[in-house]
Structures are given as structure tokens and as C-alpha cells.
Amino acid sequence: MNEQNNREAGLLDYLLILVKWRKVILTNFLIALALGVTLSLVLPKYYRATATFLPPSQSSGLSALIQNFSFDVLGASDISGEACLAILKSRELREQIIAKYDLMKVYEEKYLEHTLKELDANVVTAPEYQVGIGVSTISSVSLSVIDKSPQRAADMANDFLSLLEARIIELNTKKARNNRIFLEKRVAQNQQDLQAAEDSLRAFQEKYGAIEISAQSKATIEAAAQLKADILALEMERNILAKNALPSNVSLSKLNTRLSAMQHEYEKFYAENTQVQNGYEVLLPIRKIPALALQYFRALRETEVQNRLYEMLVPLYEQAKIQEDKTIPVLKVIDRAIPPTYKYKPKRAFIVLGIVAVSLIFCLLYVFYREYLENLKQRDAEQHDKLLALTRAFSFRRQHRTSR
């Protein structure tokens, strides 16, 4: 009962202090309110414009040209969502924005490095992730620009996207040019090899005429030639893909695995034992084929191999030439930035409430401190004088430092 009475008495004492100092508190509140409102009105307005886009697709629209291959080894674009973010943050792109909008003057900065930091603070990228099994990819990206001018904020956001797209097209074109040069040389070499193989086969047939070989030998020759051609074609796919992908690329790993399996199958043609299927001898080992037939097999195999490579290389070469020349848009822009009509900051309500709250806290601390001094004077005058002298000494030192 006594504790409750003491608590109620303590609350009443606080209320009495507030009532006693109500004029000071009210005056402080009004001054803080006026200061907060004035400051919120004086601060410059900032606007935020946002543009949203989808990263470029990594599948080629020309895949029909190379539908016989395991993978679209040339690809339409290797620029992922993460790469788009890296390009947007690149110094070259940001400097282009700074130069176009004269941001050193707008931000009132003397040095380019300071302007870059100011621009970074006013540009916000927000990627949206699509989560899959063990992997997450960026499905869309929102880019926002904050500026005093709503029109400039929108123009800068749209220009960021335009410069990003131009950079992606430049990188894709460079990749396609390198592929085209590589394939151009390979096609020329293949044409020479194909002509040499055809001449060799024709010369053999003119010299020996038609060669009579058994059905098993013929099946072995055709199967080995076809498999060897497939191996060379797959090696070509792997070499092209390796030029444009990291060693950890999943498609590259699959190609290597498949290539190893095919090479193992090809080695069986040179084994000592006959290949058996369902209890029947299907293919003879190459070593058991008669010498003359074996010469024919080698000539035929080389021709088949070069024909197979030609069938693969020409569509790839044509695709590379088309990709080098095309400049079609690669970004899918969902929303272009438009000039905002409502300010992004300052938040006037938060400014006013913050200033009033801080001022009120300091005012209450002052009021209770003054009351403490008065009560201390009645209870212990000596302690009161010491505390008052200490307060005045501190106040004098602060004023002296300020005057100096």
C-alpha cells in the first residue's frame, strides 16, 4: 500500500513540475514546431524516377539454323542479369551520364571522383530474383534516379538503359566478330580438306575400281566413319563454346562428358574382339578388314568426316555473320521512366516530428534539472552551491572556447 502511495505521489510531483514549467515547455514546443516547418519548406525537393527492364535472353533466335547441334554454341547473348548490374556501375557508363548532364555543375563538385560518389548515392538498382532448384537468377531490374529536377531524373534513368543496351550490343558484336573470323578460317580449311579427301577417294576408285567387301566390313566402315565425323563435329562445338564460356559452364561439362563416351565407343572399332549384340556378330574389328578394303575405308571415312564438318560449319558461319551485323534491341523495357509529379524527399512530417521530439526531450531534461537544483538548495545548500559553480565553470569554458 505504501509503495502504491509513493508511486502515485511521484507521478503527481512530475505532473506538478510540468504544470509549473508549462509556459517554458509550450514556448519550446512552438519554437521547435516553427523551426521544423521552416526547415522542411526551405530544403530542396528531390524526385525519384524509375525504369524497369528484363535482362537480355541468352537463347538465340536463330537456333533453327543449328538445330542438329547439342547446344546453341554461339548464343544470342552471354550478358546475364549480374553482368547488366556490373555494366550499370562501370565508370565508363557513369562518366558518360556525368558528361551529358553536366553533373559536376549540377552537384556543385570540383572533382570527378566526388561527382561519381554523388551520382552513386542518387542511383539505386533493385534486382528481382527468380529462385530455382539450387540456383537463383535475376528476372528483372528496377533502376531509379533521384534528382532535384523530375525531368532530368527520368531522362537519366532512360539514358542509363540506352547506354546499357548499346554496351551489350557492342559486346555481342565483338563476340560474333571473333566467332565469324574463327569460323571463316575453319570453313576455308574444311573446304580444302574436303576437296583433298574427295580427290583421294576418286583416285582410289579409278585405280582399283569397285571393291567387293562383306556386309560386316561395310557396316564397320560406315559406322566408324559416322562416329568419327560425330566426334569431330562435337569437338568443334566444344572448342567454339570454350572460347565464350567459363570452364565451369554446365553445357561445356556435358559436351566433354559426351565426347569422352563417344571416343571410348570409337576405340572399340580397333579392339581385337568382334562386337556382339544379342548373340550375333555385328561389327568386325577394323584390324580384321582386308588391307585393300581398309584403304577404301580410310578414304571414305575422311570424305564422310569432312562432309559432316562442312554441314556443321556453314550454318554456324552464317549465324555468326548475321549476329555480327544485327543491332536489334536486346533489353526488354517493361516501364520507361517518366517525370514524377510528387517529391521523393524531404519527408516534411518526419523532419517536423524529429525536431519537435528532440527539442522536447532537451527541454524536459532542463526543467527537471532546474527542479533538482531548487530541491537540492533546500536540502543541502553547500552541495547546491558546488553543483551550481561546476555548471557555471563548464558554461564559462565553453563560451571562452567559442569566443576564441
Those residues with Cβ within 8 angstroms of residue 399's Cβ, 6 or more apart along the chain or in another chain: none
pLDDT of residue 77: 56
Q: Percent of the chain at pLDDT above 90? A: 20
* Element housing 270 (H / E): none
Provide the pLDDT for residue 279: 36
Closest residue by Cα to residue 98 from 30, 150, 64, 145: 145
The Cα-based distances of 219 to 214, 272, 294 in angstroms read 9, 17, 13
Cβ 49 vs Cβ 160: under 8 Å: no
Contact 308, 233 (CB under 8 A): yes
**Beta-carbon contacts of residue 255 (< 8 Å; ≥ 6 apart):** 70, 71, 234, 237, 238, 241
Q: Is the pLDDT of residue 393 over 80?
A: no
Q: What is the DSSP letter of 62?
A: T
Phi, psi of 43 (to 5 degrees): -60, 140
Grid cell digits, residue 4 = 502504491
Distance, in Å, from the CA atom of 392 to the CA atom of 382, rounded to the nearest integer, reads: 15
pLDDT higher than threshold 80 for residue 13? no
CA distance 56 to 149: 30
| DSSP state, residue 146 | E
pTM above 0.95, yes or no: no
- Which stretch of 8-22, 95-109, 155-169 has the lowest confidence by average pLDDT? 8-22
CATH superfamily of 47-176+330-335: FepE-like (3.30.1890.10)
For residue 156, which of 169, 170, 144 has the smallest C-alpha distance?
144
Give me the mean pLDDT over the 207-224 stretch.
67
Residue/partner pairs of 56-65 with CB below 8 Å, 24 or more apart: 56/84, 56/168, 56/330, 56/331, 56/332, 57/330, 60/319, 60/323, 62/319, 62/322, 62/323, 65/315, 65/316, 65/318, 65/319
Quick check: helix, strand or coil at residue 75? Answer: coil
Q: What is the per-residue pLDDT across 184-199, written as a single tens digit (0 to 9) for each?
A: 888 899 889 889 888 8
What are the tens digits of pLDDT across the range 342-391? 888 877 788 788 888 898 888 888 888 787 777 776 776 666 666 667 66
Ordered by start, the domain boundaries in the chain are 2-43+346-380, 47-176+330-335, 194-325
Residue 9 or 179, more confident: 179
